[in-house]
Amino acid sequence: MRSRRPIAALLAAVTAVTALVGCSSGSEESRCATDGGIISCAPDQRSAPPKIAGELLTGGGYDLSTARGQVVVVNFWGSWCAPCRAEADDLEATYQATKGSGVTFLGINIQDNKDKAVAFEEGRVSYPSLFDPASRLALALDIPPNTIPATVVLDRDGRIATVIRAAIKQDGLQPIVERIAAEQPAPNGSR
Amino acid sequence: MTALDDRPAIPAEAPRRRPNRVLALLRNSWRQLTSMRTALVLLFLLAVAAIPGSVLPQRGVNPEKVDQYFVDHPELAPQLDRIGAFEVFGSVWFSAIYLLLFTSLIGCIVPRLRDHARAVRSRPPAAPKRLERLPQHAVLPAPDAAPADPEAIAAMLRRRRWRVEVRGNEVSAEKGYLKETGNLLFHTSLIAVLVGVALGSWYGWHGNRLLVAGAENEFCNTRQQYSEAKLGARVDSADLPRFCLTLDGFDARFLPSGQPESYRASVTVDKLDGPKRAADFSVNSPLRLGSANVYLLGHGYAPILRYTDRYGRSQTSTVPFLTTGDTNLTSEGVAAFPDANVDPKTGQRPADQQVAFEGLYLPTAPDAAPFVSSKYPAERNPAVVLVAYRGNLGLDAGIPGSVYQLDQRQVTNGKLKQVGDRKLSPGEKWILDDGSSLEFLGTKPYVTLAVRYAPGQTMMLGACVLLLVGLMGSLFGRRRRVWFRVTSADPDGGSPTGGSSLVEAGGLPRTEHPGFAVEFAHLLAALGGDGRADGRAGAAREGVE
């Protein structure tokens, strides 16, 4: 009978460890599905819209809440980052292909020199970019982008629908954007 | 687990007659595991398993060296990687060893704690009948002035911090619980150290960052901003505390020999929920933010370079040059302008017109060539020594690479060509062959930082202190017992009050204790005896004197 006590102690230890392990899994990310570096959140699992506003690379301010009703593809990039440079054409092509269905794009330039960022953008992408070298805007996202490049798709209510923590091509991004755009009808008067 | 679930189904008296095999196996394995021998073997295994962790480069510490190892040993490295030799301390087998050791320790000390608690509470045992058989023994007549009263003997022993029990004419005393207390404290602290390590690896995180001075180079505490970061198993990247840091200034003082004397970084901390605050920190006093500590690892210079392309378009870039390990801070780096020379009329981006400058930064350049190394770590005669490259930098292929060096493949395959080299002092302008120019405007300091949260640290420090205290107790504590019996001197049992009485004493060391004979003698001396043990038993038997 004496040997039961250590077994009970072991059982208690295992329970305690399981409880510890189990208790911190309340993050926003864990409520969403992750597949191949792409995090997709179902419409009923999305958290409140992040506040994204700042200064544009080309000057002037921009507040993402003015695009409410649009699906917004937010791309974090830097002109020094080789994968970001390679995916820029795909992002622009996706933008051109989807902007008719109530989709807009926004770049967020991080850890960069402004001159170099502007020189990269010119003639390459037609959507605007915010200048945010410190990644202050990334702090507003419940599911942080973590990588560079990273692409976040916000639904028509401004909530995070998808986070892509890698470079992506048009054939990967466009179906995601179209699926999220189809969740709700585009608002009247959209481009 | 199944065996435990089955347990209620077994009739109460059954295990004794028909022992359940699974339970018996479990019980035996448990006994094996919690034996001292197993614990020692596991401890030894842990030490052996840690060897590859210190001999081979580790990903968590130095990922670049691991990559280099793959290059140097293309055959061996993948094999080693498969068994986790580059992540020893996170590998399954290493974890298995320390978890078993952990379990073994707990299984060992829990019953001992219980036994010790019982021993501490219990009273010293009654005197054996024949005290003369004990290793220490003495009979002394109680002189008139000396106490022949058991209570007086007890009081004497209590003064000497013995645990005393008086039973009639007998006094039992015990001392030296410290040995087992220390031993248990040692083992419990060892577990606390392990718990501290586990807490650190579950809930701790760290990131490394190079931070150039200036508001436009600010960084915020998010995974995206770290060149290298590692989060504990239970840390979600969204849980990182929210703060931003700006390097406002950096002050380095050097001895005339070039040895660093002091470093001090001045930063602005923005916790986003209140006013910003200024703070200073240095190498041995990190910036403590509560939710994380920021450690200053190193520093260097970031030259500010302005390139004006052939169409007159300027781009200014502040590029940190990495120190090469020399005390005079010779640094190397590359300033790349992949989006230069875009024709403003057509918007054409010729792929062979990208520009980069690679070379050295010397905070104190020598007065004459060769300009290959700095003479002093402070900026007494700053200069950049650069080679200009024009062509395709290879960045647009999308392959991630270091921003601190050029893609040498592009140079080898001829797509990137050298178009000149030059030394520039601040303010100097270099006009290249195509009419474009490069100006060296000055430098900004940068610091390299490690941002770290290590939750188990305080616990580990406390546990290590207790561990040493416990070890002392366990090494120097000695458990021993003494007994005193007060008897009438008259063997015929005459009047005890009339004649003098005898005090018979015996002593028993529970563990090896060379000094016990001396201590016993001191006790007897305190009773008024001559302090010498009698001839039959005593000091001689201990082998002392």
* Chain centroid to CA A104: 14
What is the pLDDT confidence band of residue B354, given thresholds at 50, 70 and 90? very high
Check CB contact of A41 with chain B, cutoff 8 Å: no
Whether residue B428 is predicted with pLDDT greater than 60 in this model: the reply is yes
Average pLDDT rounded to a whole number, residues B418-440: 95
Who's near B55: CB < 8 A, 6+ residues apart? none
The phi and psi torsions of A118 (rounded to 5 degrees) equal: -65, -45
Contacts A144 to B, Cβ<8 Å: 222-224, 237-238, 240
Residue B314 touches chain A, beta carbons under 8 Å: yes
Q: Which chain B residues have a beta carbon less than 8 Å from that of A111? A: 219, 225
DSSP state at residue B534: P
Res B241 pLDDT > 90: yes
A122:B342 CB<8 A: yes
- State pLDDT tens for residues B272-298: 888 999 999 999 899 999 889 999 999
CB B104 within 8 A of CB B147: no
Signed CA dihedral, A79, A85, A91, A95: sign only: positive
| pLDDT tens, position by position, B116-159 | 999 888 888 898 988 889 988 988 876 554 556 888 889 889 99
Q: How far is CA A28 from the centre of its chain?
A: 13
Query: Nearest CA to CA, how far is A12 from chain B (Å)?
Result: 12
Q: Does B236 contact A6 at a Cβ distance shorter than 8 Å?
A: no
Which residue, chain included where needed, has tokens 């593809």?
Answer: A73
pLDDT grade for B58, boundaries at 50, 70 and 90: confident
* Contact between residue B516 and residue B478 where contact means Cβ atoms under 8 Å apart: yes
Domains assigned to chain B = 34-116 (no CATH), 124-176+478-542 (3.30.310.80), 306-444 (no CATH)
Phi, psi of B187 (to 5 degrees): -70, -40
**Coil vs helix vs strand at B252:** strand
Whether residues B315 and A116 touch (CB distance < 8 A) is answered with yes
Q: Using CB atoms, pick whichever of A27, A147, A148 lies closest to residue B238.
A: A27
Q: Judge contact between B263 and B283, C-beta under 8 A.
A: yes
Within 8 A of B34 by CB-CB distance, chain A residues are: 6
Structure-token match 């419940």, residue found: A142
Helix (H, G, I), strand (E, B) or coil at B104: helix
Regarding beta strands B244-254 and A33-35, do their DSSP bridges make them parallel or antiparallel, or are they unpaired? unpaired
When pLDDT is averaged across residues A152-179 and rounded to a whole number, the result is 95
| B212 vs B219: CA distance, rounded Å | 10
Whole-angstrom Cα distance, residue A143 to residue A162? 9
Cβ distance of A116 and B218 shorter than 8 Å: no
CB nearest A135 (choices: B110, B220, B349) = B220
Contact B237 A147 (CB under 8 A): no
Block residue for tokens 């040995």: B179
Band of pLDDT at residue B369, cut at 50, 70 and 90: confident
d(CA B521, CA B137): 10
Contact pairs from chain A to chain B, CB under 8 Å: 136
CB contact under 8 Å between A150 and B317, yes or no, is: no
Q: What is the spatial distance between Cα B433 and Cα B207, in angstroms, rounded to a whole number?
A: 43
SS (H, E, C) chain A: CCCHHHHHHHHHHHHHHHHHHHHCCCCCHHHCEEECCEEECCHHHCCCCCCCEEEECCCCEEEHHHHCCCEEEEEEECCCCHHHHHHHHHHHHHHHHHHHHCEEEEEEECCCCHHHHHHHHCCCCCCCEEECCCCCHHHHCCCCCCCCCEEEEECCCCCEEEEECCCCCHHHHHHHHHHHHCCCCCCCCCC
Contact between A123 and B342 using a beta-carbon 8 Å cutoff: yes
- Choose the most confident range, by mean pLDDT, from A32-46, B57-71, B347-361, B435-449: B435-449
CA distance B24 to chain A (A): 9
Cβ distance B107 to A9 less than 8 Å, yes or no, reads yes
Q: Which of residues 326-385 of B touch A (CB under 8 A)?
A: 336-340, 342, 347, 349
Structure confidence at residue B17 (pLDDT): 56
Q: Give the pLDDT confidence score for residue B493 in this predicted structure.
A: 45
Report the greatest alpha carbon distance in chain B: 132
All structural domains of chain A with their residue ranges:
28-181
Q: Report the residue from A21, A82, A115 with minimal CB separation from B401.
A: A82
* CB nearest A24 (choices: B216, B234, B342): B234
Which residue(s) pair with A63 in the sheet?
A53
pLDDT in tens, A20-73: 444 444 677 888 888 877 999 999 989 899 999 999 999 999 999 998 899 999
pLDDT of residue B543: 38
Query: Residue B316: which of A24, A113, A122 has the nearest Cβ?
Result: A113
For the beta carbon of residue B247, count every other beta carbon within 10 angstroms: 23
Q: Which residues contact A15 (CB under 8 A, 6 or more apart)?
A: none
Instruction: Name the CATH topology of A28-181.
Output: Glutaredoxin (3.40.30)
List CB contacts (< 8 A) between B340 and chain A.
Answer: 119
CA atoms within 13 A on the CB side of B265: 31
Instruction: State the best of A11, A31, A135 to mutate against chain B, taking most chain B CBs within 10 Å.
Output: A135
Report whether pLDDT(B3) > 80. no
A111: left (phi over 0), alpha (psi -120 to 50) or beta: left
Comparing A113-117, A161-165, B344-348, B370-374, the range with the smallest average pLDDT is B344-348
Dist. CA B6–CA A177, nearest whole Å:
54
Give the nearest chain B residue to A113 (CA atoms).
Answer: B317
Nearest chain A Cα to B343, which residue?
Answer: A123
From the CB of residue B74, how many other CB atoms can be counted at a distance below 10 Å? 9
Of B225, B315, B396, nearest to A86 by CB-CB distance is: B396
Whether A135 and B209 have beta carbons less than 8 Å apart is answered as: no
Report the pLDDT averaged over residues B43-61.
Answer: 86
CB < 8 Å from B in window 129-188 of A: 133-136, 138-139, 142-148, 150, 167
User: CB A8: neighbour CB atoms within 10 A?
Assistant: 11
pLDDT at B18: 63
Tokens 């270099």 correspond to: B430
Report CB contact under 8 Å: A29, B219. no
More confident residue, A7 or B507: B507
- Determine the residue among B291, B339, B343, B402 to mutate to test chain A binding: the one whose Cβ has the most chain A Cβ atoms within 10 Å: B339
Alpha carbon distance, N-terminus to C-terminus of chain A? 78
Whole-number pLDDT of residue B53: 85
> Are the C-beta atoms of B313 and B353 separated by less than 8 Å?
no
Residue B375 in contact with residue B366, Cβ under 8 Å? yes
Non-local (6+) Cβ contacts of B122 within 8 A are none
The band of B2, judged by pLDDT with boundaries at 50, 70 and 90, is very low
pLDDT higher than 80, residue A6: no
Q: What are the φ/ψ torsions at residue B112 (nearest 5 degrees)?
A: -70, -35
Q: In angstroms, what separates the C-alpha of B399 from chain A's closest C-alpha? A: 6
Rounded to an integer, the average pLDDT of A118-131 is 93
